[in-house]
Chains A and B, each alone.
Chain A
Amino acid sequence: MSIDPSLLMNAVAAGILLGGFYAAVALGLSITFGQLDVVNIAHPAFIVAGSYLVFALNGGFGLDPVLAGIILMPVFFVVGVLVYRVYYAAFERTGRESLAGLAFFFGLMFIIEVLFILAYGVDYRLVETDYIGKQIEIGLLGIPWRMLVPFCAAVVMTGGVYLFLSKTFLGRAILAVSQDRLALQLMGADPIKIKQIAFGLGIATAALAGALLIMIGPVEPTIGRLYIGRIFAIVVLGGMGSIPGTLIAAIILGLAESLVATYIGPSWAPTVAFGILLLTLAFRPSGLLGRQA
């Protein structure tokens, strides 16, 4: 097989852009699962909820999807805080979080999906802006705006979360809370409040990720399921909760999927995430940038 340089170049560029978007999708889970050990499999459902609300704001008021996503973030933050409160009171406090907690988030996922099926039906929805559909041409390379804008938004959001976690008191408390709750209390922080805020932050990222999802392609209520495997693979490969690790792992997954889709066939792309997950668990269980002492 001869390698067409333009095909390869475009596959690599598309993979990096896709990977950046994946970072936005996985970022919230990197906090809720990676830092808080909460197996939030409903995370992609929250992202799809974000997509639909962005769709509504875009259709109703003509808001730019990225702007709509940012506007929704505080709302999602509050929802995340409330969800964690329920989860804590019902499961974590009594130490029943493993199986019952999983069922809780599974149920939450179904509820969100059904709500949007009832509201919008099962048809695909998409957003409109004047840049979606256009692309930048650099020689043989074509970079579509519908991929470039999500990539940039994702990188900025990931960088922001990284700075928040590493440079603020609250952020450092979030990094510490799952390591030793009591020790954190001895620092003067209330671990439950810290976890609420962290969970809220994780869900807030789903609002913007949802905006990016519906820019990249049309969305239907259960599309989030395609992302469950991917985001867990990214968080594990990145090293449970490492934000730079999440970005790097997401770009690796995006690249790998794009190359597989280009050279082997698009139908193989969804298997890449599971391959990466298995390889990581077998050869480097602490992930790329996992901080294991």
Chain B
Amino acid sequence: MANSLTIRNVEAGYGSVRVLYGVSMDVNDGETVVLLGSNGNGKSTLIKCITGIVQPSGGEILLSVDGQQVNLIGKSPEEIVDLGIALVPEGRRLFPALSVEENLMLGAYRKAARARIEENLEFVYTAFPRLRERAGQLAGSMSGGEQQMVAVARALMSEPRVLLVDEPSVGLAPILVSRMIAKIKELKDERNLTVLMAEQNFNQAIKIADRGYIIVHGHIEFEGESADALRNNEMIREYYLGA
């Protein structure tokens, strides 16, 4: 069944500071949509609006999942996660003093995920064999790349329909960034996910993007209907590629 996100005219900020100005976006069923923008332009804020961490002051965020449509505005993060959205948050936010496996088991907290916990654990361990080797290690003592694997695996344990990924490249060596991005694409295909990924690393993100948006100072400045459209856009070339 179709899973999608429809974001319309979202306004948000922190106190008196406005961050998002009428942001509209679509993430359609089975797509990988990238939200591109350099630091401080509002990518994380939009992700936080979708997940209920920040309450928008205006606009609509509609989630279609398993045939039902729900307005996410006003819902708490735990209610939103329960609907089938998982977030790999910026900075990973693992439970550092719990083991890798305990982190993964917490990923399966929501009721809908508990029934398939065995299969999902096997799935993520197969996707990230490193995590199986390190199952008993405290998450906080892992390397940055390994922690990012735990964060992605933990999100998948919740059996999501829509996966949000906020800056998976932060703090990783370039070679690990390509691997992680490729992995997200691979997992998305295997699990039939709908993915929205916020990234400032244009060249990496574009590799797996079906479509994308550029956000500048809280405005969507450009909507690219394909990876090529993004790659070939004048503004982007100037903005990112310095060309």
Interface on A for B, CB 8 Å cutoff? 169, 172-173, 175-176, 179-180, 182-190, 291-293
From B78, B81, B82, B95, A180 is in contact (CB under 8 Å) with B95
11 pairs of residues in contact across A and B, judged by CB atoms under 8 Å = A172-B102, A173-B109, A176-B95, A182-B53, A183-B93, A183-B94, A184-B95, A185-B77, A186-B93, A187-B81, A187-B106
Chain B contacts with A in 140-168, Cβ cutoff 8 A: 140-141, 154, 158
Asked whether B95 lies within 8 Å of A183 as measured between CB atoms, the reply is: yes
Q: How far is the CA of A240 from the CA of B81 in the complex (A)?
A: 30
Q: How far is the CA of A175 from the CA of B97 in the complex (A)?
A: 9
From A169, A176, A183, B114 is in contact (CB under 8 Å) with A169
Q: B88: shortest Cβ distance to chain A, in Å?
A: 9
Q: How far is the CA of A186 from the CA of B76 in the complex (A)?
A: 10
From B76, B86, B95, B106, A190 is in contact (CB under 8 Å) with B76
Q: How far is the CA of A291 from the CA of B137 in the complex (A)?
A: 11
Asked whether A180 lies within 8 Å of B93 as measured between CB atoms, the reply is: yes
Using Cβ atoms and an 8 Å threshold, which residues of chain A touch B109?
169, 172-173, 187-189
Q: How far is the CA of A172 from the CA of B140 in the complex (A)?
A: 16
Using Cβ atoms and an 8 Å threshold, which residues of chain B touch A291?
97-98, 138
Asked whether A292 lies within 8 Å of B97 as measured between CB atoms, the reply is: yes
With both beta carbons as reference points, the residue of chain B lying nearest to A291 in the complex is identified as: B97
Q: How far is the CA of A1 from the CA of B82 in the complex (A)?
A: 68
From A173, A189, A293, B97 is in contact (CB under 8 Å) with A293
Interface size class of B (residues with CB under 8 A): 20 to 34
9 pairs of A and B residues whose beta carbons are closest in the complex:
A293-B140, A188-B110, A185-B77, A293-B96, A183-B93, A188-B81, A291-B97, A187-B109, A293-B138
Most buried by B among A180, A185, A187, A292: A187
Asked whether A175 lies within 8 Å of B102 as measured between CB atoms, the reply is: yes
With both beta carbons as reference points, the residue of chain A lying nearest to B82 in the complex is identified as: A188
The answer to the question of B194 belonging to the interface, with a C-beta cut-off of 8 Å to chain A, is no
Using Cβ atoms and an 8 Å threshold, which residues of chain A touch B139?
293
The answer to the question of B36 belonging to the interface, with a C-beta cut-off of 8 Å to chain A, is no
Using Cβ atoms and an 8 Å threshold, which residues of chain A touch B81?
185-188
Chain B contacts with A in 56-78, Cβ cutoff 8 A: 76-78
Asked whether B96 lies within 8 Å of A187 as measured between CB atoms, the reply is: no
With both beta carbons as reference points, the residue of chain A lying nearest to B102 in the complex is identified as: A172
From A176, A185, A187, B76 is in contact (CB under 8 Å) with A185
From A169, A172, A173, A186, B89 is in contact (CB under 8 Å) with A186
Using Cβ atoms and an 8 Å threshold, which residues of chain A touch B106?
169, 172-173, 176, 184, 187
The answer to the question of B212 belonging to the interface, with a C-beta cut-off of 8 Å to chain A, is no
Q: How far is the CA of A56 from the CA of B242 in the complex (A)?
A: 81
Chain B contacts with A in 82-112, Cβ cutoff 8 A: 82, 86-87, 89, 93-98, 102, 105-110
Asked whether A172 lies within 8 Å of B105 as measured between CB atoms, the reply is: yes
Q: How far is the CA of A291 from the CA of B100 in the complex (A)?
A: 13
Q: A242: shortest Cβ distance to chain B, in Å?
A: 10
Other A-B contacts than A187-B110, A291-B98, 9 sampled, CB-CB below 8 A, are: A175-B102, A176-B106, A180-B93, A185-B76, A185-B77, A188-B78, A188-B82, A188-B109, A291-B138
Asked whether A188 lies within 8 Å of B93 as measured between CB atoms, the reply is: no
Q: How far is the CA of A188 from the CA of B110 in the complex (A)?
A: 5
Most buried by A among B82, B89, B96, B105: B105
Q: How far is the CA of A176 from the CA of B109 in the complex (A)?
A: 12
Asked whether B78 lies within 8 Å of A190 as measured between CB atoms, the reply is: yes
Using Cβ atoms and an 8 Å threshold, which residues of chain B touch A190?
76, 78
Asked whether A175 lies within 8 Å of B93 as measured between CB atoms, the reply is: no
The answer to the question of B3 belonging to the interface, with a C-beta cut-off of 8 Å to chain A, is no
Using Cβ atoms and an 8 Å threshold, which residues of chain B touch A173?
106, 109
Q: B81: shortest Cβ distance to chain A, in Å?
A: 4
Whether A182 contacts B77 in the complex (CB less than 8 A), given A169-B109, A169-B114, A187-B109, comes out as yes
Using Cβ atoms and an 8 Å threshold, which residues of chain A touch B93?
180, 182-183, 186
The answer to the question of B51 belonging to the interface, with a C-beta cut-off of 8 Å to chain A, is yes
Using Cβ atoms and an 8 Å threshold, which residues of chain B touch A175?
95, 98, 102
Using Cβ atoms and an 8 Å threshold, which residues of chain B touch A179?
95-98
Q: A197: shortest Cβ distance to chain B, in Å?
A: 14
From A169, A183, A186, A293, B141 is in contact (CB under 8 Å) with A293
With both beta carbons as reference points, the residue of chain B lying nearest to A170 in the complex is identified as: B109
Asked whether B107 lies within 8 Å of A176 as measured between CB atoms, the reply is: no
Q: How far is the CA of A188 from the CA of B76 in the complex (A)?
A: 9
Q: How far is the CA of A186 from the CA of B47 in the complex (A)?
A: 12
Q: How far is the CA of A87 from the CA of B114 in the complex (A)?
A: 32
Using Cβ atoms and an 8 Å threshold, which residues of chain A touch B138?
291, 293
Q: How far is the CA of A291 from the CA of B94 in the complex (A)?
A: 14
With both beta carbons as reference points, the residue of chain A lying nearest to B113 in the complex is identified as: A188
Q: How far is the CA of A185 from the CA of B53 in the complex (A)?
A: 9
